[in-house]
Structure 1
Amino acid sequence: MNHYLEFEKPLAEIEGKAEELRALARSNEEMDVEEEAAALDKKAADLLVDLYKDLTPWRKCQVARHPDRPHCKDYIEALFTEYTPLAGDRNFADDHAVMGGLARLGDVPVMVIGHEKGNDTKSRISRNFGMARPEGYRKAIRLMEMADKFGLPIITLVDTPGAYPGRGAEERGQSEAIARSTEKCLQVKVPLISVIIGEGGSGGAVAFATGNRILMLEHSVYSVISPEGCASILWKDAEKMREAAEALRLTAQDLRKLGVADGIISEPVGGAQRDRHAVIEAVGDALRAAVSELKDLDKSDLVKDRRQKYLDLGSKGLAA
């Protein structure tokens, strides 16, 4: 069963009617409903295009959070071979919100690290809905150091509402761990490529996404704070999240203009959840191109390229 977003309710009605007709036909072989069902399919397809042709920032936030979008685990299983997971921060514990390990992207050995939200109630609780604790960021630092030591390109897959704000996380140095992870991203002498595959929230995302290249899926978002959080602070009203989403400039298209994102990866009509295979393949193509572009750069040039990217942030598109 498809999960429909709030603005997709008219689409849900049409697709539901088409499915009801086909269910009736399956129970009564004498019924011929295919022509009527096909007409409904055509109407649904046209409506889907219309709904997605000019999404507002808030609707893009909803699509980015869609529970059926491919998650980090899906990308790793589909794109990488010889994946060997590496666990623990060698200090406190293993954070299941962060997964990573050695793998191959085609013929290229890499280190892949990402946030994993989970895909059902049990796994979402286990993964803490993709909200990493300090041990998750310290695990990422350990894996980045290993990649740097052995000259492996680093690929990060970002999909988090933000770092976990719980008491235990704060007691164990959440802000310090995020800062150290961001610092390590700037220091490594290997290519670092980040893909925002869903929601890139706050410093919890920046800690993985301070890379040479930042790629964003077409309907992903990347922001210093969630629209709801921003609205609560500025207007004392979380219901003003639509206005906040507009003001935050958090869409892939806005961030490309501002120079934060280096490339946008197209999604199927209706979002990544409508054709998971196609979007995973598109991400794979973009990653292979980015690795090929950066792999021959000198170590010092990689670091300079990365640092200059962040020094230049905000200098583009300000008049837009």
Structure 2
Amino acid sequence: MGEARDLIGALTNRFDEFSVATGPSDVDGPIGWRGYGESRERAVDSSGERESVLCGTGEIGGVTATLIVFEFAFLGGSLGARTGDRLELAFTKARELGTPVVSLIATGGSRMQEGMRALSQLQRIAGQLALVARAGLPHVAVLRNPTTGGGWATLGGAADVTLALPGAQIGFAGSRVRPDGDATAYTAEGHHSSGQVDQIVSDLPGSLGRWLALLTRPFPEAPEPPHALGDEEPPSTGWESVLRSRAPERPHADDYLAAYFDWCEDISGDRCGGVDPGVRCGFGSRGGRTIAYAAQRGTATTPAGFRTAARLVRLADKLGIPVLTLVDTPGAANGPGAEHAGAGPAIAEMFAAVGAARVPITTLVAGEGGSGGALAFAAPGRTWMAPDSYFSVTSPEAAAAILKRDDDQVPATADQLRLRPQDVVDLGVATGIVGPSR
């Protein structure tokens, strides 16, 4: 028994493999690669499999899923035409059965002995991924060692949630063809740090069980806003509101998420090479239902943060999972680096994701709510204020600078901006002020 079946046995007690009809083929394949037929037979002997991928259904953590499991011992887990046949069948079955898809990938890429016939399977896979996404089914990928070439550029890179095993080699270029340079760029850890892998997992059965439980519980009722964890009464002046929101001891996003959810799993990164540690996104379990979250953590939000949050909202919307957002930022990052990274388009992407969402979104302004960088995270008509928060067109300091006022006029400017929680409610921008848990 090869590695693929060992892995299946570790994840599920029962695996119902799909039956695949195989017709006659040229011994040496579509381009007549001399010795290809013999190579395939040796691969059968060494792996115990007839192809590089096994597909079927299995139960992981109480959730029935369609499994796609690569056997690297069969020609390096390479993708050929018959691999494409199996993958298309798996995705079709997933749609028919309404099951999530779990791809457990270990591949060197497309099978060069089949030439362009092999490479064209990537288009076929991409089309099937689109159909599964259109059906609203989650796709979780696990990157094993190695995951390179087309397997990474389709099944891995396009998954809703991407997990990786520690130390796995990952990259579009395999080890024999990549240029010399930073070797860490081709590791699971390197891809996690650059926002292309959500989690590196050592307990694969446990991690997959938790993720499948979270992603398969659509319940599109609007989330209730979190209770206030800090001050119970709103401030008397605008400047007091600003000072309270900036107090180091007040509750922040991590405190609110810990109090709100029974347990949760984070996603990481914008899939474009960026991670913003000041934005935390993922899915949490609250009383047996799943709620997605996108939370600012008190720092200026970077373009990667906006793109990661937009990715989260779009995914939750596709799966029918409601969203909780937490606003807490002095504003969007506005330095040269942020501009080069596309601050404006990234903020626009988050506004668009919130505006287009069909699932309900609930927002709590938990601290600072500075300008459009905060508003992009807020749900129109379902935004609530914590007593120790403010929401403003811009910060009092920026407003004073724009108006050419001296620094000693900043507190008075804060009052003029009507940024206190009760002011924001009076203006109709927020629904109400949350109280403490009783």
CA distance in 1, matches of 2:339, 2:364: 27
SS of the aligned residue for 2:327 comes to strand
What are the superposed Cα offsets for residues 208-253 of structure 1, whole Å, 9 maximum, x if unpaired? Answer: 0134400001231001110111011113323211121111111111
Work out the number of aligned pairs and report it. Answer: 207
1:182 maps onto 2:363 in alignment: no
1:56 maps onto 2:250 in alignment: no
What are the superposed Cα offsets for residues 90-149 of structure 1, whole Å, 9 maximum, x if unpaired? Answer: 0121110100101122222110110113xxxxxxxxxxxx11110110000110011001
1:66 maps onto 2:247 in alignment: yes
Alignment of 1:59-208 (within 5 A): 59-117=240-298, 130-208=299-377
| Structure 2 counterpart of 1:176, one-letter code | P
8 Å contact kept, 2:300–2:333: yes
SS of the aligned residue for 2:426 comes to helix
SS of the aligned residue for 1:229 comes to helix
8 Å contact kept, 2:327–2:369: yes
SS of the aligned residue for 1:243 comes to helix
1:252 maps onto 2:252 in alignment: no
Alignment of 1:35-50 (within 5 A): none
TM-score normalised by structure 2 residue count: 0.46
Identity over aligned residues, as a percent?
A: 40
8 Å contact kept, 1:191–1:212: no
Bigger Cα Rg:
2
Of Structure 1 and Structure 2, the greater helix share is in: 1
CA distance in 1, matches of 2:389, 2:241: 7
Aligned to 2:406: 237
SS of the aligned residue for 1:222 comes to coil
Q: 1:147 to 1:112 in 2, by over 3 A?
A: same
Q: 1:153 to 1:244 in 2, by over 3 A?
A: same
CA distance in 2, matches of 1:106, 1:98: 24
1:220 maps onto 2:401 in alignment: no
Q: Which runs of 5+ in 2 are unaligned?
A: 1-230
CA distance in 2, matches of 1:213, 1:143: 18
8 Å contact kept, 2:234–2:388: no
CA distance in 2, matches of 1:82, 1:59: 34
SS of the aligned residue for 1:223 comes to coil
Q: 1:159 to 1:53 in 2, by over 3 A?
A: closer
8 Å contact kept, 1:98–1:116: yes
Q: 1:53 to 1:199 in 2, by over 3 A?
A: closer
Shift of 1:53: 8.1
Shift of 1:255: 1.2
- Structure with the bigger RCO (C-alpha within 8 Å, sep 6+) is 1
More divergent stretch after superposition (74-83 vs 63-72): 74-83
| Structure 1 counterpart of 2:274, one-letter code | A
8 Å contact kept, 2:234–2:387: no
TM-score normalised by structure 1 residue count: 0.62
Aligned CA-pair RMSD: 1.8
Shift of 1:54: 6.0
